[in-house]
Structure 1
Amino acid sequence: MPLAGSRDWLRWPHDPDRPRFAYGADYNPEQWPREVWEEDLRLMRRAGVNIVTLGVFSWSRLQPGPDTWDFGWLDELMDRLYGNGIAVDLATATASPPAWLTTAHPEVLPVTRTGETVWPGARQHWRPTSPVFRRYALELAGALAGRYGGHPALAAWHVSNELGCHNFYDYSDDAAAAFRAWLRDRYGGLDGLNHAWGTDFWSQRYTGWDQILPPRLAASHANPTQQLDFTRFSSDALRDHLRAEREVLRRAAPGIPVTTNFMVMGDLAGMNYADWAHEVDFVSNDHYVQPGPGGADELSFSANLTGGLARGRPWYLMEHSTGAVNWRRVNPPKAPGQLARDSLLHVAHGADAVCFFQWRQSAAGAEKYHSAMLPHAGPDSPVFRDVTELGRVLAEDLAEVAGTWRLPARAALVFDWESSWAVRRDSLPSSLLDAHREALDWYTAFLDAGVRVDVLPTDAAWEGYDLVVAPLLHVLPGPTAERLHGYVAGGGHLVTTYFSGIVDENDHIHPGGHPGPLRDLLGLRVDEFAPLPEGTCVVLDDGGIGTVWSDRITVTAPGTEVWARYADGDLAGGAAVTRRSVPGGGSACYVSTRLDGGHRTALLERLLAGAGIGGELPEELRGRVELAVRAGEGAEYHFLASRTDEPVKIGHLPGVPLTGTAGRGSAGRGGDAGVLPPRGIAVRRVPPREAGRRPAAGPPRASS
């Protein structure tokens, strides 16, 4: 199923048919007097800015009262931006309701699990299911669409902002009523719901819909399926708000693409972006790199997954930072070269837009210490020089890369949102389970092995890959299990891990022993879970160290090989890592513990060899340099990103260097093309491979 609509990308107001990278930021001119605006436009041109997101938090300016509107300042800015060659991604401004609305209608304010009201004073203080809020929000979106839908500066619509960042869970009476309606649609009747929720346990059986509530504060553990369904519902409620605003915009301004900024980063896993990706005309994402070791790998993982959500189409990096943020306990600036490396690593994984929060650093408010393209120090500053150089690199050095697609890898890493939700709640064998961390561990192993991998949502078409790693696939509905069986029977090589295949879509245990529908495929049965206490580990007979989890395993199929056994403790001698080959050349591997990094990489390299997958980098660069590849008509573009804080000699690799990297301490203009500086990134044009997994023009894959 393709992404919604036919509006594939930005509607460029100037020279619309020329592919280019979008470059810019959130622009909040309402924070500044008019005399600053002219300087903003002059410096935007100098920095190479060609697009801004406008109006994100301007509701109180646009609508000072319920029947009062003020569009004059926005009219002026839209015209002035267009006159300066700058396109506008116009927000619907519905992210945070103004004080007059919440004063007149306090019933739009969210309610916490413990019954406390979330009051105004910050942002996103609204209930996703409030009919009152919805009415006012759609009125505002309609007014903006009617006024600006035909404006020549308009490149795209931006629905709300970071939906669910602060109001994902709402336990109000509005939410309760909407939750009941959602459950009726899902289960049809109370019998279906009672079965799905297993309500005969603890005498929870429902005899009327009005008895059902969100999982508010309870005396003990709330019903597990109720918790899972409420997370599903909460994601769907926000998605429905996205749909409602989108339809208002499309009716008033057909042909203008609609997006909203996802937050694929860190462990933010509340919203099911695999579902949401079908609701927008192009995928957008906000990402803020984690400081310290592993931050660049997590950035790469998130960018890769965003590319997977976009199904290979161009996507929009809506927000990231030029330097420090403001919400962590300590907020260090970025190191030399990191601004460019972070930006271009997103480009490497398919982003055709590189934008920041925000253009001009705020003088007041909660984000006045958050970095920006134009810092407090002004244009004569290292940050602004780096910003300007990056704009040049995107517009000049990498101009031909815009509009290309990411070249599919031969291996895929599958991330499942519902499993990530299910293993984060209570009433589990261990509270240390973390699906995002396990997926990131395996992604890091691919980077350490020097092998490209595509990170995909569960509903993507991963059957064409030679190797698929599906870690912590805890929630396993029947159709997905059938896909896994068919994949292996067709010659594919599957890897899965502990606590996978345990429950169905209703969070019911699959009968017959663990891991449910995967038992026969893996050729084993998990007789008993043996989760490990925090801070403890198990030793394997190959020297590997396992943490978090272990299993008591019985091998049930003669063809199942034991690749590693537990070497100590109560499970000593028992299978820890297994692999079963099947007729047709496929295989299924099971890893029953969270392996240490070195042994996970060694295991992965063995599995890659069995699948016939090799690295595309010279041996000496594997693990030190990440390779990502984009492809167009007649060329491939190899992005080589340093994973170290030391210079890396990359030697004489094939192809023509397009750029070294941008920013301080870099090899941008005139640098040594044979050396990647610390945190450096280089791009080379390479002739297309003659055979293999080269896609046709357009998105290389579509979801099933």
Structure 2
Amino acid sequence: MISTLLSRPHGPDGDPTPRLVYGADYNPEQWPREVWKDDVRLMREAGVNLVSVGIFSWARLQPTRYTWDFAWLDEVMDLLHAGGIAVDLATATASPPPWLTTAHPEILPVTASGETVWPGARQHWRPTSPVFRTHALALVRKLAERYADHPALVAWHVSNELGCHNIYDHSDDAARAFRDWLRARHTTLDGLNHAWGTAFWSQRYSDWDQILPPRLAASHPNPTQQLDFKRFSSDALKDHLRAERDVLREITPDVPVTTNFMVMGGTKGMNYPDWAAEIDFVSNDHYAHPGPQDRDELSFSANLTSGIAGGRPWFLMEHSTSAVNWQPVNVPKRHGELARDSLLHVAHGADAVSFFQWRQSAAGAEKYHSAMVPHAGPDSDVFRAVTGLGQTLRALAPVAGTEREPARVGILFDWDSWWACEQDSHPTSRLDYRQEALDWYSALLALGVRADVVTTRNDLERYDLLIAPVLHMIPAPLATRLTRYVDDGGHLVTTYFSGVVDENDHIWLGGHPGALRELLGIRIEEFGPLLDGESVPLDGAGPGTLWTDRITVTDPETEVLARYETGAYAGRPAVTRRTQGRGSAAYISTRLGVSGLVGLLPKLLATAGVESELPGPVRGSVEQAVRRDAGSRYLFLVNRTDGPVSLPGVTGEILTGRTDTQGVLVLAPREVAVLRQPNT
């Protein structure tokens, strides 16, 4: 769908050829009118073909409760269309204007400690506020009615980064909506009291009105109350997304609707796999965090976005051309990184590459955030790189509309486990769910092995090896599904603190890892988390940090792949594997980190018959991704290093990249090459 946005019947040029989308958030309201024509000229020079407009323009569109001003947006839409540039039009509801919050301060969010979140930044609204909903939908309706037939309009952009700053609201509006949500989930008070385990600490409820969000409490709030509030908060924002979407579909049923997710490090409040079915195509924002795994994290997030999208092409709605403005130290990108970061998203399924933003702001909180046109203007290295990327994306037009080729290895990423395993009152507060998953992904990249990052909504059975790190929360149906996966020939790998609780955060009794105990053929009586700085050597891998387990092997089919050499559990199993049916199930009881996993993974990969598809000398230096259609296979090769890499024996039609004098494909530092091969 994304590759055909530019060829909609009422689109800007009527060209039916699928193309990759290239563009940015465009905020013309920040600039005088005389800049707008120059913007369109430069967009054409850069190869931009679509921009997102109106994201933070509510105060400009509706200056007061009873006045509207669309003249400026009419002019912008017309200018863009005349320039051959399509528009993804935002509903502008992300930030309510001052007149609304002044007249209705009851729409402002409230923190767990009872503090009001005041205006002055953005997203200062309650997802469950009926007052906010009324005003927001009135704006959406006005926009949809006015621009329904505008030839530039090709997609709708609901709000912006829903939940980025207002995911958790503890107001009275939220309390009422939370109780309604709980009635729907648990049906009766008895059901809720059981699910929440309210016999503990005298918390049993006798009336629905007694139930509140987990506000500031004297000690640790009820853990299932916390978990249900996380679920509810994600659902409350999803409900707002639906409300705006439904107005748009009523008025413009043929215009697709999206909203920009934030699948990147640290953003976990929104259950995006659950949201994906509510929109016509998945969009994502991603910003790299400097560090030793920054590019691996970018690849991981893009890969996970593809999993959320069900393997279908998706839209990279925002990323940065260079430095951002919100990190402790905002480092500019090096030569080649703008293109590499963009193309790595394309490699993992993006059919659109867009930036925040088109022109770098002269004022406001994001004035130091990079853009396609920087403060220095078009005579700059950044704009030259932007223009070069536009040329590259034009050359990659054949990739548009293709889907990712599944890997043989899957890494399972589960939102409920993420939410539950990092709550308070646990064996350790140091556990980092996303980091553990990223470590496995980095280790596979280091071995040159392709992997897909998937959720429980994906087809898990298609993978020869399925890695489920810290799969803490396992409802009975998922346990049955994983057992069937192994019986049918799949090879499951899981880790410490997995299989411990059910969907209500109740312990699976009888010894850990409860839901997976029989499948793994082990029993754990007690966890052994490690103190900061502690490590334990293993005889077949390691050393291990963060966590250890007191494991007893309970089945003769379970083999011990590594044991603890020292510490409280010296001599006990640390890594096990059990065969069952035509498959196997392995357990890793400690955090091995990337280097330890690189040492252990070959054993696990060999059991599943998985090998790298890359030539031996470049494994670890090059990341490989594949997209394909009915006729062709598109091989993306990404240089993960700061030096040149040669790839002898790699063949195909080069869409982007170069060869040396001997015809060998050579990747410059941080370069991406794309080859078209026959789809065999």
TM range (shorter): over 0.9
CA distance in 2 between partners of 1:511 and 1:538 (Å)? 28
Q: Verify the 8 A CA contact 1:303 1:346 in the aligned structure 2.
A: yes
Q: Determine the structure 1 residue equivalent to 2:28.
A: 29
Whole-angstrom distance in 1 between the partners of 2:40 and 2:662: 31
Structure 1 contact 8–282 (Cα < 8 Å) conserved: no
1: distance between equivalents of 2:4 and 2:119? Answer: 35
Do structure 1's residue 90 and structure 2's residue 85 form an aligned pair? no
Once the 2 structures are TM-superposed, how far is the Cα of residue 596 of structure 1 from its aligned partner? 3.1
Match of 1:682 in 2: 673
Higher relative contact order (CA 8 A, sep 6+): 1
* Per-residue CA distance 1:581-601 (angstroms, 9 max, x = gap): 113x20000000011322212
Gaps of 5+ in 1: 1-5, 661-666, 690-704
Q: Distance in 2 between matches of 1:656 and 1:7?
A: 25
Work out the CA distance in 2 between the residues paired with 1:84 and 1:7.
20
For 2:383, the equivalent position in structure 1 comes to 384
- Tell me, yes or no, if the aligned pair for 1:624 and 1:643 is still in contact at 8 Å: yes
Residue-by-residue CA offset, 1:30-65 (whole Å, 9 max, x unaligned): 000000001000000000000000000000000011
Q: Quote the Cα distance in structure 1 between the aligned partners of 2:262 and 2:420.
A: 19
**What residue in structure 2 maps to residue 295 of structure 1?**
294
**C-alpha distance in 1 between matches for 2:416 and 2:256:** 29
Q: Is the 8 A contact 1:415 1:455 kept in 2?
A: yes
**Residue identity opposite 1:623 in structure 2:** G
SS at match of 1:375: coil
Match of 2:429 among 428, 431, 441: 431
Deviation at 1:15, TM superposition (A): 2.7
Counterpart of 1:592? Answer: 589
2:5 maps to which residue? 10
Give the counterpart letter for 1:684 in structure 2: L
Aligned partner of residue 156 in structure 1, secondary structure: strand
**2:133 — aligned with what?**
134
Deviations 1:506-533 (A, max 9, x none): 0000121111120110000111100111
Query: What residue in structure 2 maps to residue 610 of structure 1?
Result: 607
Q: Distance in 2 between matches of 1:650 and 1:254?
A: 48
| Separation in structure 2 between the aligned mates of residue 549 and residue 82 of structure 1, nearest angstrom | 58
* Pairing 1:153-552 to 2, within 5 Å after superposition: 153-395=152-394, 397-552=395-550
Conserved 8 A contact 2:304-2:452: yes
- Any stretches of 5+ residues in structure 2 without a counterpart? none
Q: 1:671 to 1:389 in 2, by over 3 A?
A: farther
| TM-score using structure 1 length | 0.94
Distance in structure 1 (CA, Å) of the matches to 2:127 and 2:545: 39
Please say if residues 541 and 600 of structure 2, whose CA atoms lie closer than 8 Å, have aligned partners that are also in contact: no
Matched, 1:654 2:651: yes
Contact 1:272 1:417 in 2 (8 A): yes
Alignment partners' CA distance in 1, 2:664 and 2:69: 53
Shift of 1:646: 1.6
**Distance in structure 2 (CA, Å) of the matches to 1:46 and 1:668:** 28
CA distance in 1 between partners of 2:188 and 2:2 (Å): 39
2:2 touches 2:352 (CA, 8 Å); kept in 1? Answer: no
Q: How does 1:59-98 map to 2 (within 5 A)?
A: 59-98=58-97
**Letter of the structure 2 residue corresponding to residue 411 of structure 1:** V
Q: What is the distance in 2 between the residues matched to 1:488 and 1:367?
A: 50
1:563 aligned onto 2:572: no
- Distance in 1 (alpha carbons) for counterparts of 2:44 and 2:389: 13
Q: Distance in 1 between matches of 2:477 and 2:566?
A: 38
Paired residue secondary structure (1:520): helix
State the alpha-carbon separation in 2 of the partners of residues 515 and 63 from structure 1: 56
Is the 1:59–1:94 contact (alpha carbons within 8 Å) kept by the matching residues of 2? yes
Alpha-carbon contact 2:427-2:529 (below 8 Å) kept:
yes
* Separation (CA, whole Å) in 2 of partners of 1:143 and 1:647: 54
Shift of 1:674: 2.6
One-letter identity of the residue aligned with 1:676: L
Write the distance in 2 (CA, Å) between the matches of 1:236 and 1:443: 29
Q: Determine the C-alpha separation between the residues in 1 that align with 2:422 and 2:465.
A: 27
**Cα offset, 1:275, TM superposition:** 0.0
Whichever residue aligns with residue 608 of structure 1, its letter is L
Determine if contact 1:239/1:276 at 8 Å carries over to the other structure. yes
Could you tell me how far 1:267 is from its partner in structure 2?
2.1
Structure-2 separation of matches of 1:97 and 1:543: 54
1:7–1:257 CA contact under 8 A, matched in 2: no
Letter in 2 for 1:132: V
Whether the 8 Å contact between 1:11 and 1:256 is mirrored in structure 2 is no
Amino acid of the structure 2 residue aligned with 1:379: P
Shift in Å at residue 503 of structure 1?
A: 0.4
Change (3 A) 1:668 1:127: farther
CA separation of 1:670 and 1:143: change in aligned 2, threshold 3 A: farther
Q: Any residues of structure 2 matched to 1:144-159 within 5 Å, and which?
A: 144-159=143-158
Residue 651 of structure 1 deviates from its aligned partner by: 2.6
Report if the CA contact (8 A) 1:8-1:281 is conserved. no
In the other structure, the counterpart of 1:697 is none
What is the Cα-based RMSD across aligned positions, in Å? 1.5
The residue aligned with 1:698 is: none
Q: Could you tell me how far 1:655 is from its partner in structure 2?
A: 1.1
Measure how far apart 1:669 and its partner are. Answer: 13
Mapped to 2, the partners of 1:567 and 1:149 lie a distance apart of: 69
- Secondary structure at the counterpart of residue 538 of structure 1: coil
Alpha-carbon distance, 1:403 to partner: 1.1
**Whole-angstrom CA distance in 2 between matches of 1:670 and 1:136:** 65
Please, what TM-score do these two structures have when normalized by structure 2?
0.98
The corresponding residue for 1:699 is none
Q: 2: CA distance between counterparts of 1:278 and 1:16?
A: 29
Q: Secondary structure at the match of 1:499?
A: coil
Contact conserved, 2:3 with 2:18, CA < 8 A, in 1?
no
The number of equivalent residue pairs is 676
Match of 2:634 in 1: 637
Query: What are the superposed Cα offsets for residues 340-372 of structure 1, whole Å, 9 maximum, x if unpaired?
Result: 000000000000000000000000000000000
CA distance in 1 between partners of 2:237 and 2:362 (Å) = 32
SS in 2 for 1:547: coil
Deviation at 1:432, TM superposition (A): 0.8
Cα deviation digits, residues 307-366 of structure 1 (max 9, x gap): 111112110000000000000111010011000000000000000000000000000000
Identical-residue share of aligned pairs (%): 67
CA separation of 1:212/1:672 partners in 2, compared to 1, >3 Å: closer, same or farther? farther
